[in-house]
């Protein structure tokens, strides 16, 4: 068996030379992480999540569906109509893992699954095993059938397999499938003028264009983006809003409807905009992203306020207990922000990626890498969901019948190193900080740095220059929250890139000091659930109170924080894999002395119940909650 991997293999989003791009991604392998928070998470992903994930996909029948369609097994299709997509996401994750460190066992699994996928493909290129096995007429219910959605994930997996393993088995399948789509969809004679209810194929087709050079894929992606919002999805059981089909993408001023669909579409439309040089579309997408940030995003980065329709709400409609904040939406948010970062070079998109990855995304995965949150609330009351044992907000689960999130987490972690840094012709930009090595081969020369840091637990990031030639420059993101940051001892502005002013040479060390200390954050008063509250953050991490860490009697539902008293820190190496606990001083609000049936409403003139004595409040990083069993948790704390 021969395989090829290349030092110059490429990562998940690779704009062409002609694209609108302020920054360009590093080649795959250009940035590696080998320790710290992300190093641990990447190791667990490789050792636990990815192998167990394949087991679950076999157990739940997703792989089997493809094997049956390929004639390699017998039986009937099981699972949701989009069951293939989770296999494709796993294939993508496994490919990036292989690229990170080739492994024959992993490759054997990849190829076995790839054979089933390839075997399931119809002679004309169509491929989606569940509709195939169930005899559902092709594209007969595209708003709900997810046929393009499955195709999109297949294409993404194929591109990853090509880039990370050098193998073309899946890419050949993807090309046939994409050719079939090009032939079938569009405004031409006899073509179907329809779009999938769930975007993702747009990004995928652009990436296949980037990989193969076949312009028709880009054209079809653009067609899919432009067709939306023209009333193309009507009368399919939900309003067009749900399907991101109420308004044309280039005319939209905000995000709306199903959150995952909306941000996937945003990412795909951004790909289209940069590859077609469409400044107007790109500007519209930047406006939409800003509107999302301004009124429709949780402090955790979480996206989607409503369980109903898994959707964005109105601006400032951000309930904590019923936050949906699907893990997949955080991932789509990263995809979109990354594409806008490449297009614009605006540091705020890199801030977004950090907030999303370290909070709203990472909460989706247990420390052990084998349990998942589908939804990510910012509050769980004591005893909440007592009547709903399987409520996905009340504890991580090993897997789901609708398992979009777990393999999405896997592929995100497997490709995470691709989001750490970018290059321009003459400089390296480091956006995210983790211990490891970054190598940039620039026209101006090579720059290799060794990153040493315990970030985000600590704010010091030291970049040891191991190789520097041709005057290559270095720019480091200073997060928006990092007022007081210094670069080599000199103050630098928060929310921007700090450029190292001196020529770099091997042996140099550059030291960025970020003020990773606890701080209190407040929200716009229009956010009902944060009114009169503060949240604790520390560096890029949002913190949360969990019941397990509180003083006896300090029920999380009833505590108040005294903002006049200083916050403290406790190093707790034994807790949750090692965390810095943030401490605060609080009180416990008494409860009204009422009898059953008195109700929760009282004359405002009545003096409320007295507060109890002072307690110490202890907060842990939000992304680690529910690793000691689901229990009361809250991010926003009422001020005493």
Q: Which residues are tagged catalytic?
A: 310, 404
Least Cβ distance, residue 237 to a copy of itself (angstroms): 11
Do 513 and 606 touch, CB atoms closer than 8 A?
no
Tokens 């088995």 label which residue? 169
Do 282 and 270 touch, CB atoms closer than 8 A?
yes
How many other CB atoms are found less than 10 A from the CB of residue 585? Answer: 18
Which run of H or of E encompasses 587? strand 579-589
Least Cβ distance, residue 38 to a copy of itself (angstroms): 24
Buried b (16+ CB within 10 A) or exposed e, 485-505: bbbeeeebebbbbbebeeebe
Q: What CA–CA distance (Å, rounded) separates 250 from 493? A: 33
**Is the CB of 123 or the CB of 390 nearer to a copy of itself?**
390
**Is the CB of 209 or the CB of 481 nearer to a copy of itself?**
481
Least Cβ distance, residue 481 to a copy of itself (angstroms): 8
Query: Cα angle vertex 29, ends 23, 302, to 5°?
Result: 60
Least Cβ distance, residue 563 to a copy of itself (angstroms): 6
The number of residues in the chain equals 640
Coil, strand or helix at 454: coil
Q: What CA–CA distance (Å, rounded) separates 95 from 107? A: 8
Tokens 């200083």 label which residue? 566
Q: What CA–CA distance (Å, rounded) separates 244 from 269? A: 12
**Is the CB of 548 or the CB of 563 nearer to a copy of itself?**
563
Least Cβ distance, residue 591 to a copy of itself (angstroms): 8
Least Cβ distance, residue 596 to a copy of itself (angstroms): 4
**Is the CB of 215 or the CB of 526 nearer to a copy of itself?**
526
Q: Tell which residue, 440, 477, 446, has the closest CA to residue 24.
A: 440
**Is the CB of 257 or the CB of 473 nearer to a copy of itself?**
257
Beta pairing class for 473-478 and 427-430: parallel
| Six-digit token string for 383 | 């005893």
Least Cβ distance, residue 46 to a copy of itself (angstroms): 34
**Is the CB of 118 or the CB of 247 nearer to a copy of itself?**
247
**Is the CB of 170 or the CB of 299 nearer to a copy of itself?**
299
Output the CA–CA distances (angstroms, integers) from residue 336 to 181, 270, 290, 339, 356, in the order listed: 24, 7, 12, 5, 11
Q: What CA–CA distance (Å, rounded) separates 210 from 227? A: 22
């Amino acid at each position: 068996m021969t395989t090829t991997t290349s030092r110059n293999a490429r990562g998940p989003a690779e704009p062409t030379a002609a694209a609108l791009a302020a920054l360009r991604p590093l080649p795959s392998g250009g940035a590696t992480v080998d320790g710290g928070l992300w190093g641990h998470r990447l190791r667990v992903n490789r050792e636990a999540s990815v192998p167990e994930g394949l087991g679950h996909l076999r157990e739940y029948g997703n792989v089997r569906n493809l094997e049956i369609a390929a004639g390699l097994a017998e039986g009937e299709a099981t699972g949701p109509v989009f069951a293939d997509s989770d296999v494709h996401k796993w294939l993508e994750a496994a490919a990036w893992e292989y690229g990170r460190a080739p492994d024959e066992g992993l490759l054997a699994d990849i190829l076995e699954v790839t054979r089933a996928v390839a075997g399931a493909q119809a002679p004309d290129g169509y491929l989606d095993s569940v509709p195939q096995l169930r005899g559902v007429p092709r594209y007969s219910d595209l708003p709900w059938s997810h046929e393009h959605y499955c195709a999109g994930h297949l294409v993404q997996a194929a591109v990853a397999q090509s880039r990370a393993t050098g193998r073309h088995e899946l890419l050949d399948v993807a090309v046939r499938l994409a050719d079939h789509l090009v032939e079938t969809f569009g405004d031409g004679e006899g073509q179907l003028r329809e779009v999938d209810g769930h975007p993702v194929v747009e990004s995928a087709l652009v990436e296949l264009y980037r990989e193969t050079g076949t312009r028709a894929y880009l054209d079809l992606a653009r067609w899919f983006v432009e067709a939306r919002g023209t009333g193309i999805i009507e009368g399919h059981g939900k309003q067009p809003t749900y399907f991101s089909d109420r308004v044309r993408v280039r005319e939209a001023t905000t995000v709306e409807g199903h959150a995952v669909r909306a941000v996937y579409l945003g990412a795909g439309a951004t790909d289209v905009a940069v590859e077609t040089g469409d400044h107007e579309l790109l500007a519209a997408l930047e406006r939409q992203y800003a509107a999302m940030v301004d009124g429709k995003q949780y402090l955790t980065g979480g996206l989607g306020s409503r369980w109903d329709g898994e959707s964005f709400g109105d601006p400032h409609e951000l309930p904590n207990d019923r936050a949906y904040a699907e893990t997949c939406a955080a991932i789509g948010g990263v995809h979109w922000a990354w594409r806008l970062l490449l297009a614009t070079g605006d540091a705020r998109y890199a801030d977004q990626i950090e907030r999303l990855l370290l909070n709203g995304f990472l909460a989706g995965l247990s420390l052990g890498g084998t349990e998942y949150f589908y939804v990510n609330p910012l509050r769980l009351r004591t005893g909440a969901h007592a009547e709903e044992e399987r409520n996905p907000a009340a504890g991580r689960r090993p897997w789901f019948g609708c398992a979009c999130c777990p393999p999405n987490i896997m592929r995100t972690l497997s490709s995470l190193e691709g989001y750490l840094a970018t290059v321009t012709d003459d400089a390296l930009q480091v956006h995210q900080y983790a211990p490891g090595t970054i190598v940039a081969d620039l026209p101006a020369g090579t720059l290799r740095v060794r990153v040493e840091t315990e970030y985000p637990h600590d704010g010091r990031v030291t970049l040891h220059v191991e190789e520097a030639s041709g005057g290559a420059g270095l720019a480091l993101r200073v997060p928006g929250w990092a007022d007081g940051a210094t670069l080599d001892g000199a103050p630098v502005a928060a929310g921007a890139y700090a450029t190292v002013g001196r020529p770099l040479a091997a042996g140099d060390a550059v030291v960025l000091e970020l003020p990773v200390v606890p701080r209190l954050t407040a929200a716009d008063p229009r956010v009902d659930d944060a009114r009169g509250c503060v949240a604790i953050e520390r560096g890029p991490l949002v913190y949360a109170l969990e019941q397990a860490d509180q003083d006896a009697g300090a029920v999380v539902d009833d505590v108040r924080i005294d903002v006049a008293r200083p916050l403290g820190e406790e190093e707790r190496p034994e807790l949750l894999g090692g965390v810095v606990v943030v401490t605060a001083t609080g009180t416990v609000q008494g409860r009204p002395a009422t009898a059953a049936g008195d109700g929760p409403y009282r004359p405002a003139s009545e003096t409320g119940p007295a507060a109890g004595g002072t307690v110490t409040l202890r907060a842990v990083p939000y992304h680690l909650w529910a690793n000691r069993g689901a229990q009361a948790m809250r991010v926003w704390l009422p001020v005493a």
